[in-house]
Amino acid sequence: MKAIGKGSLASILAMGLHFTRVIMWIAFVGVSIALIILPFFSTLASLFGESLDVSKEDFFNVALTFTTIAVMLFVVNRLLEILKTLRFGSPFVKENADRFRGLGYALLIGEGAKVAFGLLSLIFDVDVAGNSSFIAWIAIIAVFVLAEVFREGARMKEEQDLTV
C-alpha cells in the first residue's frame, strides 16, 4: 500500500478521521449544552409541569463524557494535522513532535479525568461509568516515546537537508 497519495493508508485514515471529527463535533455540542442546562434541568422541567431530578451521578457522567469527547476531538484534530504533513511528504518536522507530545498530554488528561471522576464517585458514593485501564497508560507512554522519536527524526531530517 502506498504511503501517500490517493488510495494510500494515510488518505483512508484521513477520510475516516474527518468523518469522526464531524460526529465528535456534534457530540461535543450536544454534551456541552447538556452540561450547561443540567444544573437548571429540574427548574426547567418544573416549568413544564414535570418533576425530574438530576442526581450527582448524572452530572458526573455528563461531565466525564464532556471531558472524554473534548480529548477525543483534540486527538482527532492533531492526527489530521499530522496526516496532512505526511500527505505533503514531510512528516519529520519539529511541529509533529510537538503535536505528538500534545496528544500525549491530552490522553493523560483524559485518563486522569477518569481517575479523578472515579475518586469522586467513591467520595459521593455514586456510580460513574469511567474505568481507567492499564493499557491506556501504556499507550500514553508510547505516544510520548513516539514524540521524542519524531523530534530526533526531525533533527536528522534537518541535518540531512542541510548536508551538501
Q: Least CB distance from residue 157 to another protein, whole Å?
A: 11
Q: Which is nearer to another protein, 56 or 155 (CB)?
A: 155
Q: Which is nearer to another protein, 125 or 161 (CB)?
A: 161
Residues that bind another protein (CB under 8 A): 158-159, 162-164
Q: Least CB distance from residue 154 to another protein, whole Å?
A: 13
Q: How far apart are CA 83 and CA 34, in angstroms?
A: 32
Q: Least CB distance from residue 98 to another protein, whole Å?
A: 19
Q: How far apart are CA 78 and CA 144, in angstroms?
A: 14
- Short-list 57, 59, 60, CA closest to 40: 59
Residue 22 · residue 69 · CB < 8 Å: no
Q: How far apart are CA 67 and CA 90, in angstroms?
A: 32
Q: Which is nearer to another protein, 51 or 163 (CB)?
A: 163
